[in-house]
Amino acid sequence: MTLLLAPMEGLLDFVLRDVLTRVGGVDRCVSEFIRITGTLLPDKVFLRYVPELHHGGRTLAGVPVRAQLLGSDPVCMAENAARLAALGPEGIDLNFGCPAKVVNRHGGGAALLQEPERIATLVAAVRRAVPAHLPVSAKMRLGFHDASLALECAQAMQAGGACEIVVHARTKLDGYRPPAYWEQIPAIRAAVSVPVVANGEIWTVEDAQRCRAVSGCDALMLGRGMVADPGLARALRAVDAGRPGSDAVQWADLLPHLQDFWRLVCEHLEPRQRAGRLKQWLNLMRRRFSEAEQAYQQVRTLTDQQAISWWLDALPRVGATADGQAPGAPAA
């Protein structure tokens, strides 16, 4: 089983990638999309989205990161892919799934799913522009308005040289509304010879098991489900090894990661973004942990960075005794 961490604009950025890959269980990450709009981007832009390029294209936990590009002009995409490749990413992924109106209006993301021939041209241009050893993969939805061109789009990606295709099993029109149509994936798998990864609505171990059974995919991409339950990948590995529950991640285990997340947010993000990012993560974790509900309610009205830092510092440490002291710590 291969488990990938999804790109999610405004949520699953390099800060959360760092923290979630420390929790464990993830084989590879994909970055948020880097939008290519007609200019050759400087290195600093690629490094801003994928600072892991400073560390051999891996998170600090050692998990490789594939950088994702989004655009519609083959020449410009190729030139930027070549510049990005020189920085040493694990690979380059191409976005054919973004449903955002501003992206689609300019012919990028999911809009290209209406024109398979343009997909093939774009993938081929990027494939030719980067070294042969560097993987070039693609992420797609089932289609724009419907799934009528799904097979043609996947075949176009393969024809252009994509070595792997992630299928978010919804159309652009579906957005992020459940369900995900995993039953559409087997036909795509049958239409191509490259590996296919299933994505969409995988929130729990049970969801993942059903997705594997319905889609036939041994590779899954986890997005919001992994954010809501940072231990999801580890739990899946335990089930796959026949040891369900043996590596469960509890709320107490996540507290040091929550504190690390806040530290990284304060180091790397603008002050106006910081409190919102912490609340955003806690809000999603309420789906999985009752303690996250309590934490969210406590921090919900806080906006001052120092106040949030004090709140986090006051959270009980892992392994703390009833009086809050860590085992073996001197009494106050």
Query: Could you tell me which residues are beta bridge partners of residue 8?
Result: 12
In sequence order, which residues have a C-beta less than 8 Å from that of residue 41 and are 6 or more positions away?
34, 80, 83
Residue 185's identity, in one-letter code, is I
Round to whole Å and give the CA distance between 141 and 183. 13
- CA-wise closest residue to 180 among 6, 19, 2: 6
Catalytic status, residue 217? no
The residue annotated as part of the active site, out of 29, 76, 98, 217, is: 98
Round to whole Å and give the CA distance between 316 and 263. 17
Q: If you count them, how many residues does the chain have?
A: 332
Pinpoint the alpha helices (H) of the chain. 14-23, 43-49, 74-85, 101-105, 116-129, 150-160, 185-191, 205-215, 224-228, 232-240, 251-268, 271-285, 290-299, 305-313
By annotation, the residues acting in catalysis are 98
